[in-house]
Amino acid sequence: MKFQCKASYASRQREKAPHSFRAPGKPPRNDRHIPLFSVQQLDDSLAKARLHLLSLQSTGRLWSFGPEGTAHSLIALIESGQTEEDSFLDSANRLYEQQFENTRYPDIDNMPMALMVLLQTGGWEKKESRDQIEEEIRWILAMQNSDGGWGVFDGNNKDLCSDIFAAGHASLNPSSPVPTARCIEILAMVGHDREFSPLSRGLNFLHREQKENGPWFGRCGGNDLCGTWSVLSALSLLEEDPGQEYIQRAITWIKESQNRNGGWGEPSHSCIYPSLTRRGPSTPSQTAWALLGLLAAGEANSAAVQRGVHYLLQTRNEHGSWDEPYFSDTIFAPLVSSCSPEHSRCFPLWALGMFRRLRSGEVRVQARIRQSFIESNRSSGKKLPLSSGAGPEPRCDQESLPLFPPHL
């Protein structure tokens, strides 16, 4: 991982890729041109990208990218059609152990991703994994802040340093859209709906945090594109109507941010200089975030998605993966930017796999799991107490909340 602190590199990005930039709010010049590609070309690209990502797996069935990168890699492989459930479950359990054994500051952003991987790899069918999932859902519910959102490392911490390397307002750990969306998504995945009090409060937080022109701020990931994808993904799994005005504003913002070459890009320093928003060169990871957001919002057949997929297919390297030379991620916005190599290897594969799945008439893996939980809850009426789990006391008026929905 490369790091860059408070560097004004946006101008150098523009010099390297001037063809990628355009005035915000204007559609690409080739708006009427929809590039064509075959299903075979897409399938071949997915197969090669999967093989390359699997080749990077280190000992212990994990990836050297760290817990977050391992979670993203597994989800990308599963969403793109890789079927190795037993080995993936082993990887998911090791990933969970990494998060669970983090006794200093378990990551509220990464823990839901680890749980999603456990669920997607059949962990719920295993007694040991089921206990882990239940325990961590208790912890996630207990970490919800008083404003309805979730922070990254701590609960109700707006003025304490959560990391020894952080400084300035980057050290604060208030609620933010990305971890809130992750927590909403995992709660929706196990069958809860918007009537569940923590979910309702989380949705209210996201409504308040949406920017006037449509996006949500990502804070720890490429800023608005990452934040908007994360929220749209959670809203989709919760079965929110994409025709609602606030979701349409987000969709419009993503489409209007598309570059002429079909990709998307956003300098990490757009969190300091709003004028840089939608003025970055196209990158594989940020293009994938935009595609994932649009796909979650029901835009699989749109011209913008078609152009974005074509951009990813045309920018692969000789390994079938993607290169990302720009600092497109943020660690502690706005102080530290990074270039995370796993982003360009995981997210484009994830986006292409989800596109292939939806265009084939299938549903997202998360949606299929949610439906199975809903059907199971209808037949069993299972209700587990929150207060029986370890961790901080729940910040809610009720004495206990169900981990899983009762009879629907």
Cα distance between residue 248 and residue 213, in whole Å: 10
Q: Which of 186, 181, 188 is nearest to 207 (CA)?
A: 181
Angle CA 297–404–95, to nearest 5: 75
- Other C-beta atoms lying within 10 Å of the C-beta of residue 153: 18
Q: Which of 74, 106, 68 is nearest to 89 (CA)?
A: 74
- Positive or negative, the CA dihedral 327, 328, 333, 338 is negative
Cα distances (angstroms) measured from residue 344 to each of 70, 81, 201, 251, 372? 13, 18, 34, 23, 32
Cα distance between residue 225 and residue 215, in whole Å: 7
- Other C-beta atoms lying within 10 Å of the C-beta of residue 344: 25
Cα distance between residue 361 and residue 288, in whole Å: 20
Give catalytic status of residue 109 as yes or no: yes
Q: Are 408 and 377 in contact (CB under 8 A)?
A: yes
Q: Which of 334, 228, 317 is nearest to 271 (CA)?
A: 334
Q: Which of the following is catalytic: 31, 44, 86, 109?
A: 109
CA 32 to centroid of chain Cα atoms: 30
Q: At what angle do helices 110-120 and 365-380 cross, to 10 degrees?
A: 80
Q: Which two tokens stand for residue 194?
A: 């918007």
Q: Are 337 and 330 in contact (CB under 8 A)?
A: yes
Name the H helices within 210-302: 224-237, 245-256, 284-296
Partners of 4 in the β-ladder: 337
Name the H helices within 28-101: 39-55, 67-79, 85-100
Q: What residues are labeled active site?
A: 109
